[in-house]
Amino acid sequence: MVTSVTSLGRNGLYDWLIQRVSAVIIGVYLIGMLGYLITAGDLDYGTWKALMSCVAMQIANTLLVLSVAAHTWIGLWGVTTDYLTGLTFGKAATGVRLVAQMVIALLLVIYVLWGLVMIWGGA
Amino acid sequence: MKVSIYRYNPETDREPSMKEYEVDTQGKDLMVLDILALVKEQDQSLAYRRSCREGVCGSDGMNMNGKNGLACITPLSQVAPGVLEGKKPLILRPLPGLPVIRDLVVDMGMFYNQYEKVQPYLQNNTPAPAIERLQTPEDRAKLDGLYECILCACCSTSCPSFWWNPDKFLGPAALLQSYRFLADSRDEATEERLSRLDDPFSLFRCHGIMNCVSVCPKGLNPTRAIGHIRSMLLERGI
């Protein structure tokens, strides 16, 4: 049993499940959006803004942003714990991994906040 | 034919090197272990493990032209196209990811540590019946494809997740054995076994790339066993 404090769910099953559920959400969103873009014909600013302003789309966009953030964190957490280890960095590995994970986490928090402002800010 | 073998003696060599040998197979489709015996006649200093020479003991797991397998049951024609005909050299390296003791002999300590962690023995606190604990033929059939593992380490040492975290990720061989006891109707420690696998590393480092399945000399499927354990964890966890 390995206890890991920096994984998302701090539990293998939850991380695994969150990664799959988020992948389904991202996949459904992308296919839906692609379908819309193909069938919508000529898009102008007004139509696009109306689409993005309806509550259903705002919820879908929020789910997308959160899913991308969760999916990215679990995936990159796996990458950092695979490659930034004692095998590659020796004694410095813990420091390198901590810095890398904190940078990734910070970028994802900024991405989520910025995304939420864009979705719900009404600009 | 040309044979290129990984050589390393930590007492005399600063770093490992590949050494070339010329072996006369007389056109026969010999097993790789036979080739090693012919090389050993030329060079007594070559070290490798072998015992049963028929794919039962699992001693001579090694990397042959990039793919892990047992030297004793791998004929030259199956190593890679062109090796038997002498168009390509036979390239032998130790199992990847484990510390090399000498030449093709690796230290299996990390592999056995992970095997030990899954407690590969029947746990049952119910007083044993007079003769034996019986299973239905159906329950016994669940162990097929699990109990045959010979612990040669070909699978775990072909798994990148095991290469990067050999101390945390149990590896396909240990997980196959873990499921062998989870699937056993006579075992009573299912809950304890599952609770030890529920962290991000022990089992969930498996990304299902199935290297283990493609190299297993016994034709077993650790990826499927890992999938079964994951389903058990899912049923227990949600």
Domain edge (last residue) among B105, B135, B165: B105
pLDDT tier for residue A6 given thresholds of 50, 70 and 90: confident
Domain span at residue A83 reads: 12-120
pLDDT at position B204: 95
Whole-number Å distance between alpha carbons of B118 and B104: 27
Residue A123 has pLDDT above 70, yes or no: no
Number of domains in chain A: 1
Residue A10 has pLDDT above 80, yes or no: no
pLDDT at position A42: 85
Domain edge (last residue) among B69, B87, B105: B105
B7 vs A: CB within 8 A:
no
Q: Which residue in A has a C-alpha nearest to residue B192's C-alpha?
A: A1
pLDDT at position B238: 80
Whole-number Å distance between alpha carbons of B10 and B72: 26
Domain edge (last residue) among B59, B86, B105: B105
The ranges of chain B with pLDDT < 50 are none
ipTM score of complex: 0.85
Task: Write the CB contacts of B129 (distance below 8 Å, at least 6 apart in sequence).
Answer: none
B200:A12 CB<8 A? yes
Q: Which residues of B touch A17 (CB under 8 A)?
A: 234, 238
Smallest CA-to-CA distance from B104 within B17, B46, B56 is with B46
Whole-number Å distance between alpha carbons of B178 and B27: 44
Domain span at residue B67 reads: 2-105
Does residue A1 belong to any structural domain of this protein? Answer: no
Q: Is A45 within any annotated ligand binding site?
A: no
A12:B202 CB<8 A? yes
Report the share of chain A in percent with pLDDT over 90: 81
Which CB contacts under 8 angstroms, 24+ apart, belong to B108-111? B108/B153, B110/B166, B110/B167, B111/B151, B111/B153, B111/B156, B111/B157, B111/B166, B111/B171, B111/B173
- How many other CB atoms are found less than 10 A from the CB of residue B226? 22
Of A11, A78, A87, the CB nearest to B198: A11
CATH number of the structural domain spanning residue B74: 3.10.20.30
Whole-number Å distance between alpha carbons of B193 and B190: 5
Residues B99 and B17 in one domain: yes
Q: Which residues of A touch B171 (CB under 8 A)?
A: none
For B:168-187, CB contacts with A below 8 A are 168
CATH number of the structural domain spanning residue B226: 1.10.1060.10
Does residue A6 belong to any structural domain of this protein? Answer: no
Report the share of chain A in percent with pLDDT over 70: 96
Q: Is A29 within any annotated ligand binding site?
A: no
What's the whole-number mean pLDDT along residues A51-57?
A: 93
A1:B200 CB<8 A? no
Number of domains in chain B: 2
Q: pLDDT digits over A95-115, tens only? A: 999 999 999 999 999 999 999
Residues B116 and B207 in one domain: yes
Q: pLDDT digits over B180-192, tens only? A: 999 999 999 999 9
